[in-house]
Amino acid sequence: MSDNKTHRITLIPGDGIGPEVTQAVLRILEGTGARFEWERYLAGAEAFEIHGEYIPAALYESIARNRVALKGPVTTPIGGGFKSINVTLRKKFDLFANFRPVRALPGLDSKWPGVDLIIVRENTEGEYVGLEHEVVPGVVESIKVISEKGSTRIARFAFDYARKHGRKKIHSIHKANIMKLSDGLFLRCARNVAEEFPDIQYGEHLIDNTCMQLVMNPFQYDTLLLENLYGDIVSDLCAGLVGGLGLVPGANLGTECAIFEAVHGSAPDIAGKNLANPTALLQSAILMLRHLDEIAAADRVQAALEKVYTARQSLTRDVGGSAGTSEFADAVLAAMS
């Protein structure tokens, strides 16, 4: 552990299943021996009801001060309403890299045991810039923004990560046969960066073909480099390869701040029923522990998590078990002691 320092972390439990999975993860983190002081904030519809703001100013200040946040899912209204809280925070803190390791946990009956993929998703551009308008009634324009700066820095992030962590291969995923300028620029930037990394194999695949290839044989890929929207969709597909959305973690990384959150959303269909799998947020918290240099604590939680999955006891319903969110957390805690 890093000299028993207390880490002050911004905590956004979120809504839907957010509070349940956050509660489970906090209990496990407290059991690691690492020390935390949590600054807890509401965001989204609940925050608006109480503070009159979807993202209270104090939340922005807390993240800017602490530089690290752990975040549960916050519901984004469909087809109208307020802007996504996730997208707003990523933009505000320029969290340009969305890092999502997709690994099959031992003992789990997933479609593809042994899968070990890294998804690197550009997190601030593409269709997510939210520039949409009605040109004339019945016709809407949506603008996709791809920049040389944004594409180059995310490509460099992917290659730097690959080199540092012994990953062998990166594929840029695109649709540059149709989006000739935007995806064409993304590819050009990736190719330029790839030239600086002759030790890492580089390939390019069309997004539609990639989806089919991933389902047929995910082992042909190692690290996937994608624009924002492609990364969003392919992340859910890859989650399906290893057992579902309850498992896959994520980190939103910038040069100043980092926000750790699961790939999944607020899952309103199972909210408040003690059914949600906290593994995805727990694995996001493990990424956070590594980011904080709490390596022993991270290894301890990881080992306990793998022990629980290998024993196939106390697993939640989404992965074939019958335990609730809190019983699963109890099992991880027991495996840590």
DSSP 15: S
CB of 246 to ligand ATP, least distance (A): 3
Q: Token pair of 334, please?
A: 């027991």
Nearest residue to 96 via CA among 156, 163, 20: 156
Q: Which C-beta is closer to ligand ATP: that of 132 or that of 256?
A: 132
Whole-number minimum distance, CB 277 to ligand ATP, in Å? 4
Residue 212 beta carbon to ligand ATP: minimum distance, rounded to whole angstroms: 21
Nearer to ligand ATP, 97 or 248 (CB): 248
- Contact between 105 and 243 under an 8 Å Cβ cutoff? The reply is yes
Quick one: 24 exposed, middle or buried, by C-beta within 10 A (0-12, 13-18, 19+)?
A: buried
Phi and psi at residue 35, in whole multiples of 5°? -110, 135
Closer residue to ligand ATP in complex, CB, 61/132 = 132
Q: Which is nearer to ligand ATP, 294 or 318 (CB)?
A: 318
Is position 277 an interface residue for ligand ATP (rule: CB under 6 A)? yes
**Smallest separation (angstroms) from ligand ATP to the CB of 91:** 17
Report in angstroms how near the CB of residue 238 gets to ligand ATP at its nearest. Answer: 12
Q: Which helix (H) or strand (E) holds 154?
A: helix 148-164
The distance of closest approach from Cβ of residue 129 to ligand ATP in the complex, given in angstroms and rounded to an integer, is: 17
Q: Does 280 bind ligand ATP (CB under 6 A)?
A: yes
Q: Which residue has the tokens 């100043």?
A: 256
- For residue 28, state whether it binds ligand ATP (rule: CB under 6 A): no
Which runs of consecutive H residues, i.e. helices, occur in 165-314?
182-195, 207-216, 228-242, 279-291, 295-311
Q: What are 76-83's contacts with CB under 8 Å, separation 24+?
A: 76/44, 76/265, 82/44, 82/45, 82/48, 82/54, 83/54, 83/130
Question: Measured between alpha carbons, how far is 36 from 238 in angstroms, rounded to an integer?
Answer: 32
Q: Tell which one of 23, 76, 192, 213 touches ligand ATP (CB under 6 A).
A: 76
Of 104, 276, 305, 329, the one binding ligand ATP (CB under 6 A) is 276
Task: Output the smallest distance, CB 295 to ligand ATP, in A.
Answer: 26
Cβ proximity of 55 and 43 under 8 Å: yes
Instruction: Indicate the SS3 state at residue 261.
Output: strand
Residue with smaller CB distance to ligand ATP, 121 or 153: 121
Do 226 and 237 meet the contact criterion of CB atoms below 8 Å apart?
A: no
Q: Which of residues 220-239 bind ligand ATP (CB under 6 A)?
A: 236
Determine the Cα–Cα distance for residues 68 and 63; give it in Å rounded to an integer.
Answer: 6
User: Pattern 177-216, binding to ligand ATP, x per CB under 6 A?
Assistant: ----------------------------------------
# of chain residues touching ligand ATP (CB under 6 A)? 16
Work out the number of other CB atoms within 10 angstroms of the CB of residue 240: 17
Q: Which is nearer to ligand ATP, 98 or 277 (CB)?
A: 277
Nearest CA among 40, 97, 42, 38 for reference residue 74: 42
Question: Binder to ligand ATP among 318, 332, 333, 335 (CB under 6 A)?
Answer: 318
CA angle 70/101/258 to nearest 5° reads 30
Amino acid at 187: L
- Contact flags string 243-272 toward ligand ATP, x per CB under 6 A: --xx-----------------xxxx-xx--
- 17 versus 187: smaller Cβ distance to ligand ATP: 17
**Residue nearer to ligand ATP on the CB measure, 31 or 249:** 249
Binding site for ligand ATP (CB under 6 A): 17, 21, 76, 236, 245-246, 264-267, 269-270, 276-277, 280, 318
